[in-house]
Structure 1
Amino acid sequence: MDDGVRALARRLRELRTGRWADVKITQPMLGQALGGAKGPLSVALISSWESDVHPKIPPNARLEGYATLFCTDRSLQGGRLRMLAEDELAPDELLARDRLRDELLALRSAALGQPVRDAPAEGLWHFPDGKPIRLICAQLPPKMLRRMPYVDPDDPDYVELYTYADLDALLELFGHIRAVNPASEVRIRKAGARPLAADDYTTHLVLLGGVDWNAVTRSVLEQLSLPVEQVSDWDSEKGPYFLAGGERHYPALRDGKLHEDVALFYRGVSPLNRKRTLTICNGMYGRGTYGAVRALTDSRFRDRNTAYLHSRFPEEESFGLVTRVPVFEGAVITPDWTDPESRLFEWP
């Protein structure tokens, strides 16, 4: 227990003395920032939390304050330390805040001899700012719609969802996002049927499906200039592929049956609103799109995959990976990103 208390004290001291190498953050400065409008915390209290000899354990609320202060360089402006309000934090800063908060709370639990909490199940599909979220799917192309029943709006049995592509991925993700963001407005939009409202583009955007059918995915990828390209070479002998790291990554088909798809997962700051995020789940086929979604919704894999992303890209504003998605007798097998064989390419 004593070792756990000292580990927490060391970490708090490291944050104060090492977070900004060119600026010395004093205990009075930290006490002022943590105290805020209620008045500064005493130097003696700050010192007790950092003590090597007889450290004290801060309450949860103070550790959350540390996380908010030290998650962003913007807390330190003009030599003055101040705590930003939650609505002032950008999406990448909110993610950094949450990671640091979880680390400090885990250290506190260890110091108290309590079980350390698992990483929150919400993972990357939790948007803590509570802002609107839009899931954007493609509409099936006209030649496919002609083969579908109940897609005529004048039909008494009209079913609008029959006109959507990537329904497996859409239904899986819509339910999950609603569950972990109960206070957020979550809506589904269809690319291609008619222009989306301008306000839809400035929410947290989640794009499902690739460049062939989803025009929004195509337009956004043109703006981002990612080191990955989806090449729709459907007429060649080997078919379409992802070009990443100078290599072509093809799906595996045998006798016309899909055995393995290739998918892209990307998360970054939205180019249409830097206060919001952009997420892309895009397979070469629909099975790959579903696999990219399941990587972070499947209860058996999402925690380990989320932990991998947090450890691999701890401070990155944007990141992505190209992954294998195994398909066994038509069933999508959730990719395990902790297995190097599952990851074909990742950046940065």
Structure 2
Amino acid sequence: MTPARDFWTFEQDQDITIVCPPLPEEYRRYLAYADPESADFVSLYTYADPDALIELFGHIRARNPEALVTFHTADELSSHHYTAHLIVLGGVDWNSVTRDVLERVDLPVEQVSRDDDAEQGGFRVRQNGRSILVEPQFDGGRLVEDVAQFYRGISPFNRKRTVTVCNGMYGRGTLGAVRALTDVRFRDRNEAYVRERFGEAESFSIISRVPVVGGQGLTPDWTIEENRLHEWPEAAG
């Protein structure tokens, strides 16, 4: 099921659920604002990937003013949330819903956890009969290029709704996956590329570079071939 006008506009009267990974307890303990017992408690401090969440929530609310748009951590979902249009932020390390979705869709991409043998993890892709690990790039321990995945397809939980995964190995990759279709300077050209490249395909995936400059993750331009590290379905011929 394809959105009516653009990739973030959905049909009227259909709920939209955004799912973030919860910030692990080992990181929360250093934040008084993340402690429910604190007078200064702020629930958003319990969320990982808040940059991506804020960017996307505002954009989707603007595009779908009559829709019920909610956001939750992965451990807060009810069955009702799973069967709405589902948008999942962040990778398999912290977001169990990302793992659940990717296990249920037919996609030649596997996210390798940063806790696995590969020190910084990556996306293992199958391309032309080969298995390739697409990894983020570091310079002396400093992240200089993240990798991001944007996946859109029919929801495995409700065939009349969509599921979208915006996923990076690190937070700036996840934000880059979101901004590819929200950033006013890039979204139109990226959307045009997707429609030309994938046509009426019900599902597609793009893994792209996300340059990190001055500590900031930049929006990927999908119209530049070298920025696209893996695409599925593969182009005919």
- TM interval, shorter chain, is over 0.9
Q: Secondary structure at the match of 1:125?
A: coil
Deviation at 1:235, TM superposition (A): 5.9
What do the CA deviations read for 1:68-108 (whole angstroms, capped 9, x no partner)? Answer: xxxxxxxxxxxxxxxxxxxxxxx24xx5xx5xxxxxxxxxx
State the match for 2:46 in structure 1: 163
Instruction: Output aligned runs, 1:1-348, within 5 Å.
Output: 91-92=1-2, 95=3, 98=4, 123-192=6-75, 194=76, 196-234=77-115, 236=117, 238-244=119-125, 245=127, 246-348=131-233
**AA at the equivalent of 1:161:** L
Q: How much identity, in percent, do the aligned residues show?
A: 55
What is the number of equivalent residue pairs in this alignment? Answer: 229
**Matches of 1:276 and 1:225, distance apart in 2:** 17
Contact 1:209 1:282 in 2 (8 A): yes
Corresponding residue SS for 1:247: strand
2:112–2:118 contact (8 Å) kept in structure 1:
no
Change (3 A) 1:201 1:235: closer
Structure 1 residues 204 and 235, CA gap change in structure 2 (3 angstroms): closer
TM-score normalised by the chain length of structure 1: 0.64
Instruction: Calculate the aligned-residue CA RMSD, in Å.
Output: 1.4
Contact 1:124 1:296 survives alignment (8 Å): yes
Write out per-residue CA displacement over residues 173-207 of structure 1, whole angstroms, 9 at most, x where no aligned residue: 00000000001000001113x4x211010000000
- Gaps spanning 5+ residues in structure 2: where? none
Task: Look up the SS of the partner of 1:178 in the other structure.
Answer: helix
Question: Which 4+ residue blocks in structure 1 deviate beyond 6 angstroms?
Answer: none
CA contact (8 A) 2:21 2:73 kept: yes
- By how many angstroms is 1:308 displaced? 0.5
Report deviation, 1:213.
Answer: 0.3
Higher relative contact order (CA 8 A, sep 6+): 2
CA distance in 2, matches of 1:255, 1:216: 32
Deviations 1:299-327 (A, max 9, x none): 00000001111111111011111111111
1:233 deviates by 4.3
The answer to whether the 8 Å contact 1:238/1:250 transfers is no
The whole-number CA distance in structure 1 between the counterparts of 2:41 and 2:116 is 34
Determine the C-alpha separation between the residues in 1 that align with 2:71 and 2:91.
17
The farther-off stretch of 136-145 and 146-155 is: 146-155
Per the TM alignment, residue 332 of structure 1 is displaced from its structure 2 partner at its CA by 1.2
Contact kept, 8 Å, 1:166 with 1:208, in 2: the verdict is yes
Q: TM-score, normalised by structure 2?
A: 0.93
Larger-gyration structure (1/2):
1
Amino acid at match of 1:255: G
Q: Report the Cα distance in structure 1 between the residues aligned to 2:228 and 2:78, rounded to whole angstroms.
A: 36
The 1-side partners of 2:200 and 2:168 are apart by 26
As a proportion of its length, which structure holds more strand? 2
Query: Any idea what the Cα deviations from partners look like across 1:40-71, whole Å, max 9, x if unmatched?
Result: xxxxxxxxxxxxxxxxxxxxxxxxxxxxxxxx
1:149, CA displacement in angstroms? 2.2
CA contact (8 A) 2:151 2:204 kept: yes
Tell me if the contact between 2:74 and 2:96 (Cα under 8 Å) persists in the aligned partners. yes
- Larger helix proportion, structure 1 or 2? 1
